[in-house]
Amino acid sequence: MSGSIPLAASPEAAALEENAYRKAVWRIVPLLIVCFIFAYFDRVNISFAKLQMQGDLGLSNAAYGFGASIFFVGYFIFEIPSNLILSRVGARVWIARIMISWGIASAAMMFVTSETWFYVLRFVIGATEAGFLPGIILYFTYWFPAKRRARINALFMTSISISGVIGGPLSGFIMTRFAGLGGLAGWQWLFLLEGLPTALLGLLVLAILDDRIASAKWLSAEEKAVLQANLDREDHGTSHKFIDAMRQPGTLLLSLIYLFMLMGLYGLTFWMPQLIKNTGITSPMTIGLLTAIPYAAAGIGMVALGRSSDRRGERRWHLGLAVGVGGIGYMLSAYFAHDTTLAMISLVIAAVGAIGCLPVFWTLPPAFLSGTAAAGGIALINSIGNLGGIISPYLVGKVVDITGVPSGGLYAIAAVLILAALLILFGLPERIANRDQAL
């Protein structure tokens, strides 16, 4: 691009560029990691709250499953509008709004006394959280070029693993040690102590984040110029209008693939505590500690996969093979459902594949979408994908009802992940799968 600064034209220029990116990473990514940790706590704590909340409120399995799933209805409805608003008003204000409102709604779950209010608040939490993840993915495109995004996405999405590592034991600890304190049940304390910090983090976002490179006072003029030039250099051959994103076959294909991928992810999120319990372990604290193991392994796999993908400039095989490994892990989890050791090893394999693949996947939409098209397209892909949070629990339950085999639902999720892997390996157009090789 005319007028852009040549990439690494000299050792001094290379040092300037690396220093600028180092500043950007440390300024932006750690805060957003903490934010997403608390976002994912909500996915983790609803599965742990079930261990006490269901009995206290007299909820049937069907009612609890519907309440857990209706979150994704609110999420789906408000996802695209939320990201389009973010692209207009700026990431700082809108991400802060998302966190403050959903943190308050999540904490309000402690006041639920009936099935109806359980449904209402789960829907509200989904609606208020809508746009957070796609907003962050979009925000990263304002700062980092394609060749760095798998690593950045991987660093950010280690928050899923960290929240799983911390969230399980923390949820078990809160529910065990705080039960009865102040006349509140353990699950009520769980929602309060994991909801209010989310709202407070929203205020921190307002104070720290900058919307764009140009507004970052902590970067020098030279650093701003080189970062912006790198983004400008690759902004070719992409769709800019939202209607373009809707018309792109790649958007619909990625939406379908992501739907299958998240069916695998939410299979772990919603069912892992129960799967571990089925092996004969009953203590909430022990179950919480054991759930941390697959999440920790997934975090390591996520960073390694993201670095490898960026270093080689390759997306298709990194993503497809990881998703396939997740499917194999689910099959093994079903086969070894009653052996604690082998079931845990299988869950580790499933988590490394089903979670570790996410950062590489999110390098794909910005490869052919930008501007308003990226805002709407990324949100569309994420909203359709998150319908997996509705379909996955229903599919698992339905397969179990039909077959009478408790582990039968895991085979169904395994099949879905393997189908996703085949679509990635043999269905994605080259211009999407590895476009950044040419940048």
CATH code for the domain of 354? 1.20.1250.20
Strand partners of residue 370:
none
Residue 344 within any structural domain of the chain: yes
Q: In the chain, how many H helices and how many E strands?
A: 18, 0
Q: Give the separation between CA 418 and CA 422, rounded to whole angstroms.
A: 6
Domain hosting residue 323, numbered range: 11-438
Q: Would you say residue 1 lies in a domain?
A: no
- Beta-carbon count within 10 A of 431 CB: 12
Q: CA torsion, points 396, 332, 157, 264, in degrees to nearest 10?
A: -20
Query: pLDDT tens digits for the chain (439 residues)?
Result: 334 444 445 788 788 989 999 999 999 999 999 998 888 777 667 777 877 788 888 887 777 778 877 888 898 899 889 988 988 899 899 999 999 999 999 999 999 988 899 999 999 999 999 989 889 988 998 999 888 888 898 889 888 888 878 877 788 888 888 888 988 988 899 999 888 999 999 999 999 999 999 999 999 999 999 999 988 887 554 555 566 666 677 888 999 999 999 998 887 777 787 788 888 887 777 887 888 899 899 989 999 998 999 888 888 999 999 999 999 999 999 899 888 899 999 999 999 999 999 989 988 888 777 677 777 888 888 889 888 878 887 777 777 778 777 677 888 899 999 999 999 999 888 777 665 544 4
* 5 in a structural domain: no
Which H helix or E strand runs over 213?
none
In a domain, 296, yes or no: yes
Instruction: Pick the closest to residue 84 from 368, 377, 363 (CA basis).
Output: 377
Backbone angles phi, psi at 60, to 5 degrees: -75, 165
Inside any domain, residue 79: yes
Measured between alpha carbons, how far is 145 from 183 in angstroms, rounded to an integer? 52
Neighbours of 228 (CB within 10 A): 18
Number of domains in the chain: 1
For residue 4, being part of any structural domain is answered with: no
Residue 400 domain flag: yes
Name beta bridge partners: 239.
369
Question: Smallest Cα–Cα separation from 290: which of 278, 301, 300?
Answer: 278
CA 181 to CA 185: how far, in whole Å?
A: 7
* Rounded-to-10 torsion of CA 219, 220, 226, 229: 80
**Residue 12 burial class via C-beta count within 10 angstroms: exposed 0-12, middle 13-18, buried 19 and up:** exposed
> Whole-prediction pTM value?
0.79
d(CA 84, CA 376): 6
3 domain residue, yes or no: no
d(CA 415, CA 317) in angstroms, rounded, equals 19
